[in-house]
Every structure is written in structure tokens, then in C-alpha cells.
Copies of this chain bind each other. A is one copy, B any other.
Amino acid sequence: MFRRLMAGLLLVIGLSAPALAEDGYDLWLRFRPLTGTALAGAEARLSAIATTAPEGLAAAELSRGLSGLLGRAVPIGTEGPLLVGTGDDPAIRALRLDLSDLGPDGYVIRTIGPRTVLAAQGGTGLLYGAYHLLRLAQTGARLDTLNIREVPRIERRILNHWDNLDRYVERGYAGQSIWDWHRLPDWHDPRYEDYARANASIGINGTVLNNVNANATILTAPYLDKVAALADIFRPYGIRVYLTARFSAPKEIGGLPHADPLDPAVAAWWGAKVAEIYARIPDFGGFLVKANSEGQPGPQDYGRTHADGANMLADALAPHGGIVMWRAFVYSDEVPDDRAKQAYAEFVPLDGSFRDNVLVQVKNGPIDFQPREPFHPLFGAMPKTKLMMEFQITKEYLGFATHLAYLAPMYKEALDADTFRPARGSTVARVADGSLDGHGLSAMAGVANIGSDRNWSGSTFDQANWYAYGRLAWNHGLSSEAIAREWIAASFSPDPAVLEPVLAMMLPSHQAVVDYMTPLGLHHLMGRGHHYGPGPWVDGGPRADWTSVYFHRATKDGIGFDRTRRGSDAVSQYAGPVADRFDKVETTPPDLLLWFHHLRWDRKLSTGRTVWAELLHRYGRGIAAVDDMITRWQGLEGRIDAARFKEVSTFLAIQRQEAQWWRDASVAYWQSINGLPLPPGEAPPPYPLSHYQSLSFPFAPGDGR
């Protein structure tokens, strides 16, 4: 008790001071002293915590956060206006709240007379409820008429870390991996617990620690000891650890001659390995597997199917309650007629053949996390299979850590898309949460943007994408705006003079990046390998579908990838109404136009502009949107702490410069192909195409290797 009180007291002092130097480490868990009516409301309703489980993490977190908000220690005891407990607590039982369908993660927050009641079935639900309550207090919400009942829509809300064992993060733009493998299991970096707290506060309950481009060493005994140390730190926060499983591990670390999933010796090796893991980590989550994709080994090496491979691992995990997440991001060694069609072609025939504890993990779009893609045609096409969504939080194709791009609208676009399978209203979200097809187990994955940078994500605004992913994994019904409002209020201030301008920066920011990088449905036009900056001229190399020219197909006459029924027929992988819509220029959303259609440069669009003029228009619109963000941000000087103000200002200047670079380099390239003059009023690129092509970035961060 005394320890908790002291912890609260120290935090009051400790947390109030860093307000002067906001280095971003606190993320959205900035519990700075409230003022005015927000303070009065919290004082009235949350000034002391009453619980029969004072040692619980929920009470501790409430005390920690509220002590910061109230500017004094908020005690945990038997008395107080904030009642926290499970149904086993007599004081809670007396209230006759319906806790029956909450499950392990759900909770109820209710105003009952002078009391605020937080109730759940167990500790994890209470913890989630505690963070919810703290968010309400922190963001100045009214606290006297609460009637909240929350149950997550998705059971497993998971981060994927593409972190190598040497601490290099593939597609990482925030320093190196936070996992200090060399000094684990002995040294517990305080950051590990702060990571768990941040994730729990937004409902994330799982983490895949290592890269999908996997190394079998993670499955050796010394590394499993290290993994177990992390699992022990994360467990109180309701977070399970998962690992990627390199399919060839039985050969590489097991001494077997091959890794054929149908060989009983291979299955037995995995069975023993899984038992070895569970002996150390009883709540181990399971495996994520990237197989037969981009050079990774897999069951096809032995003439077996993805299902053969996934099921073999699933059988090893099932006795312990573990799951397999099998990625659908695959494409064959031969260049296909259309890479967008590959995953569908490979996986749909396997529908119904996966074990119950297998989920197929599908990216939001059919290519690869491009600034804008149509939703992946697999959603809705495998009703007998559990499909889970994979979003990318790290901005591999969206300007790394220096471009401001709030990704909730992009996530929502995919989640809200209607698959029309079997009928209207069958959204991707309903497929992904299992409700459409009655699947009990559901999951969502987000490729993390977390690294060793002090601010975790490489920039302040990239923290918002981590936040938004967690919130949407919990409840995909939330709006992008609602999530942004929460994040801004928590991270900066609920003051409308701050909140509204920042909101106006964030909401259109994703579209701005689409516009200045890949407007009108263009895709995969970035620099080779590192994916930094424009590279519409990228050609040659080992595979046609790793080039830009494969995807934009620009000629003297036209531009775009014909995926209609007259072209690659990728449209037919969608349900009829969707396919019909994408098959026609007139009904294809302008933002997907050149994704599905090859159009003449001079074709008139519904906007009244030709394709060529519309491209130029959209580049300019994207740049103008960045200018607008800059203006809004400059208007906040004095209302934002100096450190973050300077960081964001600098990054916006970089974004502006790189937006112009994307436009100029792209325009110079398109002109080299189509020979067309610029539409009136459009400035010519300041350099010849050769200049843009000569730029080289051998040490751009995050390149796969």
C-alpha cells in the first residue's frame, strides 16, 4: 500500500517536470496536470481508488495516471469514489452489473450516483478499462454520466516487428530494434515495460518479436530464454509473445536433412520444439510464417501446399493452445501475368483445408502496402478460412518517418470496403473480425513502426499510427476522426485551439501523400530496394514485378495497368458487383483508375481534365496540402512545446521538399515517355530527368537485407 502511494507521489513530481522537454517518450500516456473544469471533474469523480485488489496493475496504473492528472498522489484503498473490481468483489457484485458477455478483455465503466465504477471479469479487462478511464480524464471528457461497455471486436490484436536479431529493423525508420538480444535475458531494459504499457493502453495484446524474413536462431534454447524474459515482462499487461517460424528450421538448427511438412520426423521436431517453447512460456501465442515468398523457404520446396505447411505447425501448437498466422503475401518464382492476382490464385483453392487454429494473414491490398490499393480480393473469397488483416504501420511507402501521413483513413478504407460476398454489407471488417462467417478466433496484425529512437516511432506524428492501429484493432467501427481527436488531446492538448488545427492537418494527410507520390491509382513507383523517393523509371533487375515499369506500363500513348476483363482480368477476383464497378472507367474510383485501367494520356476524365492533366493536377494538390499543413502548424507556435514544435516543423519542411521531388521527378519521367507539353500553369521540373535518375541513397534506412 505504502509502496503504491509512494509510487504515485513520486510520479506526480516526476511526470510534471518533463513537460518542459517533451522528447516524446511518454507517447499518448502524458498525464500532465489538468486545469479548470477537467481538473474539477476528475477531482470530484476520481480522487481515490477503492478496490479489494490493491496490488492489481489496473489500480496501480489508475493511481499513476490520475496522480499525474490531479497533481497529487491518488491513493489506492478501500474507500474512494472510483470503485474498481471484478464480479468476485462483493462491492461490485452488489451493483448487479451484467458482466456476463465481457470476456477476458471487456469492461464496464458506469457512473452510479457519486461513484464511478470500473468492472470486468478479470485483471486484463480492468486494465483496459483503467486506460479508457484515464483517457477520458486526460482528454477532458465529462466524467459524471459514464455508461460504457466495451468488448473488443477482434480477439488477437497483434504487432509484427520486422526486427532482425542483430537489431536491424527491416523497413524501420526509428532507429534500431528495441530488443537488446545480446543482453537478454539478464538485462531488462526499462523500455520493455514501457512498451507493454503503451500497447496495453490501446488494447494491443500480442507481439511477434522478430522479422517475417526469419532466422531460425530465435528458436534455439539461448534465444528462447531471452524471449521468455520478455514474455514475463509483458504478461502482466495482457500481452502474449509470438515468434516467426522459419520453415527450414528443422534443417538449420534441428539437424534434419529436410523440412518436408509431411515427414513425421519433421512434424515431431516441431512438436518437440513447440513443447520446449511452452515449457518456458506457458501462454506463448504461436507462430507467424512467411513461406515460399521472396526467397523464404516453405512447403512448396517439397511439392506441398501452404495448407500442408500451416497445418503441420498448427498440429504442433494445438495441444498448447497456440495458433499459426500464415501469410498470404506470396508470389511465385516466375513472373506472373499480374502479380496482383497471385495470392488469390494460390489460396482460394485451399479454402476449407486449414486447421482450426490457423489464420491466413492477408495484407490490406493485393500488391504490397502501396499508398493506395483496392482491398485484397481474398477477403470474402475464403469463407471457410479464418482471414486476418495485416496493416503496415511503419511507412515503407509513405515517406518513412519524416512525412506526416495519418493512416487511420487508409486502414478504414480497407476495413469499410464491401466485398459483396456473399452479399451487400459484407465488409472486409466483418470478414476480418470473423463475424461474417462465424469464426470464433479472430486476429489483426500491424507491422510496427517502433524502434530505439527516444520517441519510439521516429516522429511525433507516427505515434498516431501506432495508436490508431491499436484502437481500430479493438474497435474497427471507430472513425478516423474520433481516433485522431483522442490522440491529439492525449499527446498535445484537448484545447480546441490546438486540437482543431492538428486534426485538420492529420485527416487529409494520407490523401496528400497519395497525390504527390502515386496519384490516380498508380503504384510501386519508388526507388529500388530501399523504397526511398521516386523511381518510376526503375526497370531491369531480377524480376519484372520488382520494377516500376511493370506496374505503370506507360507508353507514348497511355499509362496504367489493364486489370479489366480485357486485360489481366484481376477484377474477376472480386465479387460480381465489385468486379463490374472496377471493370469500367466510369465507375472506378478516380484514386484507383490506373490500378485497373490503361488509359490514353489524352482521355478526358469526369473531372473534365485529361489523364495527363489530372495527374499534374493531383501532384500539385498533394503539394498544396503539405503547404497547408505547414501553415497550420506554424500557427501553433507557442501552443506546442518547443522540442516537438521544432521536430514537426523540420519534418514538414522535408516533406514539402520531397513532395516536390516526387512530382518533379515523376513529371520529368512521364514527359520522357509521352513527349507531351505541360498543361498550362504547370511549372517544368527544374532539372532534367537524368538528374533525378542519378540520385543515389546507398544507406537509406530500413532496406531489406
Q: How far is the CA of A700 from the CA of B175 in the complex (A)?
A: 18
Which residues in B have their C-beta under 8 angstroms from that of A3? none
CB of A321 closer than 8 Å to a CB of B: no
For the complex, give the distance between the alpha carbons of A650 and B186 in Å: 7
How long is the Cα–Cα vector from A271 to B572 in the complex, in angstroms?
64
A701 within 8 A of B: yes
- Is residue A495 contacting chain B, with contact meaning CB distance below 8 A? no
Contacts of A452 in B (CB 8 A): 175-176, 452-453
Assess whether A187 is in contact with B454, with CB atoms less than 8 Å apart.
no
List chain B residues, Cβ under 8 A from A255.
Answer: none
The verdict on A686 contacting chain B, using a C-beta distance below 8 Å, is no
B13, B20, B654, B699: which contacts A20 (Cβ < 8 A)? B13
Cβ contact within 8 Å between B176 and A650: no
Residue of B nearest to A703 (CB): B166
Using A10-B20, A17-B13, A176-B175 as known contacts, say yes or no to A182 and B701 having CB atoms under 8 A apart. yes
Interchain CB contact under 8 A, B175 and A402: no
Distance (Å) between the CB of A615 and the closest chain B CB?
Answer: 28
Per a CB cutoff under 8 Å, which of B21, B188, B654, B697 touches A186? B654
> Which residues of B have CB within 8 Å of A697?
182
Question: Which listed residue, B17, B653, B699, touches A166 by the CB 8 Å rule?
Answer: B699
Size category of the binding interface on chain A: 35 or more
A654 touching B187 by the CB < 8 A rule? yes
Q: Which residue of B lies closest to A11 (CB)?
A: B20
Encoded as 1 (CB less than 8 Å from any B CB) or 0, chain A from 637 to 663 comes to 000000100010011011001000000
Task: List B contacts of A643 (CB < 8 A).
Answer: 190
Which residue from B14, B20, B699 sits with its C-beta under 8 Å from A182?
B699
**Which residue of B182, B653, B701 contacts A700 across the interface (Cβ within 8 Å)?**
B182
Q: What's the Cα separation between A167 and B168 when bound, in Å?
A: 10
Chain B nearest CB from A340 CB (Å) reads 31
Among residues of B, the one whose C-beta sits closest to the C-beta of A217 is B698
Interface residues of A in 175-226 (CB under 8 A from B): 175-176, 181-183, 186-188, 190, 217
Among residues 398 to 422 in chain A, which have CB atoms less than 8 Å away from a CB atom of chain B?
Answer: 400-402
Chain B residues near A17 (CB-CB < 8 A): 13-14, 16-18
Contacts of A66 in B (CB 8 A): none
Residues of B within 8 A of A653 (CB): 186
Q: How far is the CB of A210 from chain B (nearest CB, A)?
A: 11
Shortest Cβ gap from A339 to chain B (Å): 29
Residues of B contacting A175 with CB < 8 Å?
A: 175-176, 452
Interface centre among A165, A183, A188, A651 (most CB of B within 10 A): A183
Q: Which residues of B contact A20 (CB under 8 A)?
A: 10, 13-14
State A190–B455 Cα separation when bound (angstroms).
Answer: 12
Give the residue of B16, B165, B402, B698 whose beta carbon is less than 8 angstroms from that of A699. Answer: B165
Given A10-B20, A20-B14, A176-B167, do A650 and B187 touch, yes or no (CB 8 Å)?
yes
A452 to chain B, nearest CB (A): 6
Known contacts A14-B20, A182-B701, A452-B452; is-contact A402 B654 (Cβ 8 Å): no
Binary interface profile of A, 5-25, with partner B (CB < 8 Å = 1, else 0)? 000001001101110110100
A441-457 interface with B by 8 A CB criterion: 452-454
| A452 to B169 Cα, complex, angstroms | 15
In this complex, the member of A452, A453, A700 whose beta carbon has the largest number of chain B beta carbons within 10 angstroms is A452
Residues of B within 8 A of A217 (CB): 698-699
Q: Give bound CA distance, A685 to B20, whole Å.
A: 55
Q: Which residues of B contact A168 (CB under 8 A)?
A: 168
* A454-B25 Cα distance, complex, nearest whole Å: 11
Closest CB in chain B relative to A6 CB, distance in Å:
11
Choice from B21, B454, B698, B700 contacting A454 with Cβ under 8 Å: B454
Kindly report which residue of chain B lies nearest to residue A14, judged by CB atoms. Answer: B20
A402-B183 contact, Cβ under 8 Å, with A452-B176, A698-B217: yes
* Inter-chain contacts of A167 with B (CB < 8 A): 176, 701
Task: List residues of chain B with CB within 8 A of the CB of A176.
Answer: 167, 175-176, 452
A427-453 CB contacts (< 8 Å) to partner B: 452-453
Q: Which 9 A-B pairs have the closest CB atoms?
A: A17-B17, A165-B699, A176-B176, A14-B20, A166-B699, A186-B654, A187-B650, A182-B701, A452-B452
Q: List 12 A-B contacts (CB under 8 A).
A: A18-B18, A166-B701, A167-B176, A167-B701, A175-B175, A175-B176, A176-B176, A182-B400, A182-B699, A182-B700, A183-B401, A187-B654
Supply 10 further A-B pairs (C-beta < 8 A) apart from A166-B699, A175-B452, A182-B701: A10-B20, A165-B698, A165-B699, A168-B168, A182-B697, A182-B700, A183-B401, A183-B402, A187-B650, A187-B651
